[in-house]
Amino acid sequence: MSAAAPTSSPHDQLAGKAQAWSALFSEPMSDLVKRYTASVFFDQRLWQADIAGSLAHAEMLAAQGIISGEDHAAIQQGMATITQEIEAGAFDWKLDLEDVHLNIEARLTQLAGDAGKRLHTGRSRNDQVATDVRLWLRGEIDLIDGLLRELQLALVQVAEQNVDTILPGFTHLQVAQPVSFAHHLLAYVEMFVRDEARMRDVRRRVNVLPLGSAALAGTTYPLDRERVARTLAMEGVCQNSLDGVSDRDFAIEFSAAASLVMLHISRLSEELVLWMNQSVGFIRIADRFTTGSSIMPQKKNPDVPELARGKTGRVVGHLMGLITLMKGQPLAYNKDNQEDKEPLFDTVDTLKDTLRIFAEMIGGQMNPATGAKEGGITVNAAAMRAAAMKGYATATDLADYLVKKGLPFRDAHETVAHAVRAAQAQGVDLSELPLATLQGFHPAIAADVFDVLSLEGSLNARKTLGGTAPVQVRAQIARHRQRLAGEE
Ligand code: ARG
């Protein structure tokens, strides 16, 4: 660093001076402190939002007669140049200029002279950064919304092919009752539907304009904040300047919604890993989502679901980080808030990558030649069926059968327990016991009992709304298809 001229302004730095603030400071910032306080190497990803916010602010300043039309034009032109430079990778980001805001403003001043220096009229970096983060996050939420729908589509597609594929449903990870594999997948679709709704709800509170709050108390210039909000397609204006610059609820809410998405993916991952275990063998995922072992030649490890499960911890950790970041802060802006960015950015990156990879791992990739998706999960229906035949998954059906013959449910439950015990002793399924043996447990049992003891009979009988009967599952698939084809 060159020796400091403590009287220089941020804009003068480009002329080779090293102190960012003003005549007030009697010595330059040390290099360590500069590095410690700078955010430019991560917050530069806000550049588009920063320029959009500045352009909206400048347009309003000109409309209100606070800056001249010529200054406005010079700012627009300068920002166009800066946009090109950043897009071309030619922009010289400077650590000395601390953050994305000061970097862009300093370059603007270099390009547009005094017009650049007038841009900050009626504005502070406090309301500027709050605006930038909101604008950026709004765009990311829209991308996440699309990715959540892609994942739902992938699950619905596999569900469509597996309405009649039967696997054992578990409670306590023990065989409980047979269910349709489609029904199982659609349970996850329901979770992602709620996630989508949560994201859209969060978006409404993200999409509110802090700009015009200035440093903390509002400003003496006659700003038209509503105009800026309209220009930026924001739904409202923060109504209290102290809150406007210091509120990070929106980031926490977003992280909470993102954590729930990851949590759902993590549960699905746990099941995928279990289903891929050799002693279960319900599914395979394509080789491109697995890795080998450096020592065991036979291995194909489900790294992607395992990592997604692990990355869930990371995203939930960011949520905890953001909550802790805010809990001790007095009003209004504090530099602590600069620490909101890396967790938020990493949450968005992790979530988007995970959603993309899961949609493809489950649903496959579009083959342009056939127009169909290929390479999604492979289902081993025979293994699922064999597993459903173990563990007396249709015992409840036998009890329900006896209830229909007039027994009180508790008595039926006890009768079936005896039958299961006998079948266990013989190492056979209930459906494999001879009719005469079954009748020994209760005389009301007749030949039609074998209809209810079959896996298909068990499924078909669960016709209540939301149940696993194929007729219900098909109705749910149709509902999801229609929903996903529409805008809503
Ligand atoms: N880089 C800062 C942040 O991310 C910008 C706002 C700085 N404001 C201030 N008064 N130091 O929060």
pLDDT at 343 over 80: yes
Going from the Cα of 28 to the center of ligand 1, the distance in angstroms, rounded, reads: 19
Domain contains 349: yes
Mutational test site, ligand 1, from 126, 133, 246, 329, max ligand atoms within 8 Å of CB: 126
- The verdict on residue 60 lying in a domain is yes
The maximal CA–CA distance of the chain, rounded, in angstroms, is 102
Structure confidence at residue 7 (pLDDT): 44
Q: What is the pLDDT of residue 487?
A: 62
Q: Find the mean pLDDT for residues 226-242.
A: 98
Q: Is 128 touching ligand 1 by the criterion CB < 6 Å?
A: no
Would 433 be classed as within a structural domain? Answer: yes
CB atoms under 10 Å from CB of 6, counted, come to: 15
For residues 312-322, one letter each, b for 16 or more C-beta atoms within 10 angstroms of the residue's C-beta and e for the rest, the string is beebbbbbebb
Indicate if ligand 1 lies below 6 Å from the C-beta of 129: yes
What is the best residue among 45, 337, 341, 345 to mutate for testing ligand 1's pocket, by most ligand atoms within 8 Å of CB? 337
Residue 314 has pLDDT above 50, yes or no: yes
Q: Is the CB of 127 under 6 A from ligand 1?
A: no
Is 473 in a helix, a strand, or coil? Answer: helix
CATH at 409: 1.10.40.30
Same domain, 456 and 352: no
**pLDDT score of 9:** 53
At 291 the pLDDT is 84
Task: Give the mean pLDDT of 186-203.
Answer: 98
Do 83 and 135 belong together in one domain? Answer: no
Ligand 1, atom nearest to 340 Cα: 4
Identify whether residues 344 and 268 lie together within a single domain.
yes
**Distance, CA 322 to ligand 1 centroid (Å)?**
16
Taking CA atoms only, the protein residue closest to ligand 1 atom 3 is: 338
| Cβ(96)–Cβ(2) below 8 Å | no
Q: Answer whether residue 51 shows pLDDT above 50.
A: yes
Indicate whether residue 126 lines ligand 1 (CB < 6 A).
yes
Residue 369 resides in a domain? yes
**Could you tell me if 115 and 185 lie in one domain?**
no
50: domain CATH number? 1.10.275.10
Q: Is the CB of 125 under 6 A from ligand 1?
A: yes
Domains contained in the chain, number? 3
289 and 422, same domain (yes or no): no
Same domain, 218 and 141: yes
Res 293: pLDDT: 81
Asked if the model's pLDDT at residue 297 lies above 90, the reply is no
For residues 242-262, give the mean pLDDT.
98
202 CA from centroid of ligand 1 (Å): 24
Question: Does the C-beta of 468 come closer than 6 Å to ligand 1?
Answer: no
Over residues 192-213, the mean pLDDT reads 98
Q: Looking at the annotation, which residues are catalytic?
A: 172, 293
**254, 201 Cβ separation under 8 angstroms:** no
Residue-wise pLDDT for 438-450, tens only, equals 999 999 999 999 9
255 CA → ligand 1 middle, Å? 21
Which of 37, 129, 248 maximizes ligand 1 atoms within 8 Å of its Cβ, making it the mutation to test the pocket? 129
For the chain, what is the mean pLDDT? 94
Average pLDDT on 29-44 reads 96
126-175 per-position pLDDT tens digit: 999 999 999 999 999 999 999 999 999 999 999 999 999 999 999 999 99
| Predicted local confidence at residue 15, as pLDDT | 40
Q: Which residue in 314, 308, 306, 304 sits closest to 345, CA to CA?
A: 314
Closest C-alpha residue for ligand 1 atom 2: 338
Q: Whose CA is nearest to atom 4 of ligand 1?
A: 338
pTM exceeds 0.85: yes
CA dihedral of 238, 331, 213, 106, whole degrees rounded to 10: -130
| 190-209: b (≥16 Cβ within 10 Å) or e | ebbbebbebbeebbeebbbb
CA of 67 to the centre of ligand 1 (A): 25
The confidence band for 294, taking pLDDT boundaries of 50, 70 and 90, is: confident
Higher local confidence (pLDDT), 232 or 15: 232
Query: Which among 378, 402, 436 is the end of a domain?
Result: 378
Q: For residue 58, how far is its CA from the centre of ligand 1 (angstroms)? A: 20
Ligand 1 atom at minimum distance from 98 CA:
1
Q: Is the CB of 335 under 6 A from ligand 1?
A: yes
Q: Could you give the CA distance from residue 8 to residue 80 in angstroms, rounded to a whole number?
A: 27
- Closest atom of ligand 1 to CA, residue 341: 4
- In angstroms, the CA 282 to CA 311 distance is 25
Q: Which of 378, 393, 408 is the C-terminal boundary of a domain?
A: 378
Spatial separation of the C-alpha atoms in residues 188 and 180, rounded to whole Å: 13
CA distance 245 to 331: 9
pLDDT of residue 423 exceeding 50, the answer is: yes
The rounded Å distance from CA 334 to ligand 1 centre is 8
Question: Which residues constitute the domain of residue 195?
Answer: 126-158+180-378
Token match 């007669």: residue? 65
Residues 38 and 184 in one domain: no
The reply to whether 390 and 465 lie within a common domain is yes
